[in-house]
């Protein structure tokens, strides 16, 4: 199955197919143009690197692997410098295609490196986590983290192609799969209540590795993301911001836990979405029952359904201070993703940050 991201000259295909990694050369040989391909990955992805390199070798394409340390800390200035130096050593040219093989950390870092290397070279996303297959490999948001906050240094730089092999998820640790699942649930909560109901009915099977459920969730998520990105590539029209549901809270939680493995991005987003719904309910915008249903489903999926479950014990004022670095800040105000119900997320420009801090203090329990 192939889904297209329609962005004029920057349009690209997303190929989704079981076993695709072993057949990736079918798509990559034309992009290699007889040159050595650089593949950037992390240590945990080595088995899939072997599969990809064997496929390229069999097709007569030479490749060089750059293997980085796993984890959120890799989205840093230091690793960006290491990576760009290695790519320059390899002689990567603007018309070459660098392959990002891994999760969202590799995709975001490699994408940003390619956005700035020689003022921009091509890259291909080959996502190997559930989160990257349903979200981060599509849409061209690339970034590293700064001391002040999450993804604050980055660029919009679209990949030339996305190759999704759901079978690579067979080696993914269950906790990482659950974290990716949070971004799947997000699409239902934004504007698709039927898909949220599908998640309630099929989430457990998906997380248990059911192949049909996986393909359905990946295809549905990527189709939704491709549509939204096609409508609002640079997040200037109020559409793409919807993909940020749960992220203003979530990024504050990640900052508070130091971008450590204590709280994964998807876990922070899960807690953030539960908080966005709970705050919406507290403000009388959405039914209390809807907020409870969201939190219950996240908890059933093994994700944090609130502040305490996320293991964060900061006061509301501290968390709001992190939020002031949010990239949605506009003339000193912070537009918030709130909800009128499940599948009815909207951007609210009138949220009082004092009320958010008070809500968070109460949510500490």
Ligand X SMILES: NC(=O)c1ccc[n+]([C@@H]2O[C@H](COP(=O)([O-])OP(=O)(O)OC[C@H]3O[C@@H](n4cnc5c(N)ncnc54)[C@H](O)[C@@H]3O)[C@@H](O)[C@H]2O)c1
C-alpha torsion angle, residues 106, 175, 218, 231 (rounded to 10): -60
Contacts to ligand X by CB under 6 A: 42, 44-45, 48, 70-72, 75, 102-106, 108, 128-129, 131-132, 135-136, 139, 141, 151, 168, 171-172, 176, 179-180, 183, 265-266
265 marked as part of a ligand binding site: yes
Is the Cβ of residue 199 or residue 357 nearer to ligand X in the bound state? 199
CA end-to-end span of the chain: 47
Minimum distance, C-beta of residue 40 to ligand X, in the bound complex (Å): 12
CB under 5 to 8 A by kind: which of ligand LNCXM5UN, ligand X, none does 102 bind? ligand X
Measured CA to CA, the distance from residue 93 to residue 120 in angstroms comes to: 9
Q: Which are the contacts of 11, defined by CB distance < 8 A and separation ≥ 6?
A: 4, 5
Q: Which residue has the tokens 């091509």?
A: 122
Residue 128 marked as a ligand binder: yes
Instruction: Tell me the CA distances in angstroms from 298 to 52, 123, 284, 303, one per residue in order.
Output: 34, 34, 22, 5
Residues lying near ligand LNCXM5UN in the complex (CB under 6 A): 135, 139, 141, 150-151, 183, 240, 243-244, 247, 327
Active site residue 251: yes
Structure tokens at 202: 């099929």
Q: At its nearest, how many Å lie between ligand X and the CB of residue 264? A: 6
- 75, 97, 220, 225: which is the annotated catalytic residue? 225
Catalytic one among 48, 97, 141, 214? 141
| Longest Cα–Cα distance in the chain | 62
Minimal distance, residue 74 CB to ligand X, in Å: 8
Cα(268)–Cα(253) distance, rounded to whole angstroms?
Answer: 6
**Partner whose footprint covers residue 345, from ligand X, ligand LNCXM5UN, none (CB < 5 to 8 Å by kind):** none
Catalytic residue annotation = 119, 141, 183, 225, 235, 240, 244, 247, 251, 265
């Amino acid at each position: 199955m192939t889904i297209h991201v329609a962005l004029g000259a920057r349009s690209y295909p997303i190929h989704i197919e079981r076993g695709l990694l072993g057949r990736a050369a079918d798509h990559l040989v034309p992009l290699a143009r007889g040159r050595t391909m650089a593949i950037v990955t992390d240590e945990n992805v080595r088995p899939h690197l072997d599969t990809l390199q064997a496929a390229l070798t069999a097709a007569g394409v030479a490749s060089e692997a750059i293997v980085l340390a796993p984890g959120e800390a890799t989205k840093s200035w230091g690793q960006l410098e290491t990576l760009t130096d290695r790519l320059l050593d390899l002689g990567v040219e603007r018309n070459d295609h660098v392959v990002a093989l891994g999760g969202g950390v590799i995709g975001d870092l490699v994408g940003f490196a390619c956005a700035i290397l020689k003022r921009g070279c091509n890259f291909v996303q080959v996502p190997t986590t559930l989160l990257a297959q349903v979200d981060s490999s599509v849409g061209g948001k690339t970034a590293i983290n700064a001391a002040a906050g999450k993804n604050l240094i980055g660029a919009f730089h679209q990949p030339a192609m996305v190759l999704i092999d759901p079978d690579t998820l067979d080696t993914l640790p269950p906790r990482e799969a659950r974290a990716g699942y949070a971004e799947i649930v997000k699409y239902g909560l934004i504007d698709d209540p039927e898909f949220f109901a599908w998640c309630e009915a099929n989430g457990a099977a998906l997380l248990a590795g059911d192949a049909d459920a996986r393909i359905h969730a990946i295809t549905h998520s990527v189709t939704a993301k491709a549509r939204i990105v096609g409508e609002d590539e640079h997040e200037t029209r109020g559409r793409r911001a919807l993909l940020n549901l749960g992220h203003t809270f979530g990024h504050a939680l990640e900052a508070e836990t130091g971008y450590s493995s204590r709280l994964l991005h998807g876990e922070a987003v899960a807690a953030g979405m539960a908080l966005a719904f709970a705050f919406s309910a507290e403000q009388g915008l959405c039914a209390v029952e809807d907020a409870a249903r969201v939190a219950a489903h996240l908890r059933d999926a093994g994700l944090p359904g609130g502040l305490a479950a996320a293991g964060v014990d900061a006061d509301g004022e501290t968390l709001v201070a992190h939020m002031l670095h949010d990239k949605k800040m506009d003339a000193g105000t912070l537009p918030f993703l709130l909800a009128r119900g499940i599948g009815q997320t909207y951007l609210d420009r009138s949220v009082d940050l004092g009320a958010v801090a008070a809500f968070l203090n109460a949510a500490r329990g």
